Amino acid sequence: MTEKTINTRVREYAYDELDAEDRQLVEIAREATRGSYAPYSHFHVGVALLLDNGQIIKGANQENAAFGAGTCGERSALYNAAANYPDNAVIKLAVTAFHNGDIVPEPCAPCGVCRQAMIEFETKSHKPMKVLLVGRDRVLALDSCHDLLPLAFDEF
Ligand SMILES: [Zn+2]
């Protein structure tokens, strides 16, 4: 038996410490929460993607009375990007949420299904996807979405 340790490097920033590109993406993710349809959870997720052509794509969670018909903000943005810019890589993703009248205090993290979807986008593009998990006062930054889901399923 061999025991291994898997490390994940996460950098924590105060909003003011972010560079201009990251600040812009965080602001657009916050704006994107307005596109959320969340009458059941009242948890309005907003996502902003930066593509390698400079294009920014917004996404937001879309709930449905038939719960399985809804989708998360991350996948709404990723599939929008794939449908409209199939030849471009997603190089950065920012996610946050609006709940109880404010941006969530703690950095918002993608669910497991979205982590798996993000990894496949990163794998097929052969470019790392930086991830920004955004809370009201601080942001966690990861260099790759693989850092969010070690030992992910991967058929490639
Ligand atoms: Zn999700």
| pLDDT tens-place string over residues 102-140 | 999 999 999 999 999 999 999 999 999 999 999 999 999
In a domain, 116, yes or no: yes
CA 48 to chain centre: 7
- pLDDT of the residue at 77: 98
- pLDDT of the residue at 156: 55
In a domain, 93, yes or no: yes
CA 99-134-42 angle, to 5 degrees, is 15
**Residues that place a CB less than 5 A from ion ligand 1:** 72, 111, 114
Please say whether the beta carbons of 140 and 115 come within 8 A: no
| pLDDT tens-place string over residues 34-48 | 999 999 999 999 999
Partners of 147 in beta bridges: none
The CATH code of the domain that includes 117 is: 3.40.140.10
Say yes or no to pLDDT of 155 above 90. Answer: no
In a domain, 14, yes or no: no
Q: How far apart are the CA of 60 and the centre of ligand 1, in A? A: 10
Q: How far apart are the CA of 105 and the centre of ligand 1, in A? A: 19
Q: What is the identity of the amino acid at 34?
A: R
In a domain, 156, yes or no: no
In a domain, 153, yes or no: no
Query: What would the mean pLDDT of 96-101 be, rounded to a whole number?
Result: 96
Count of domains forming the chain: 1
Domain membership of residue 65 as a residue range:
19-148
How far is it, in rounded angstroms, from Cα 10 to Cα 140?
6
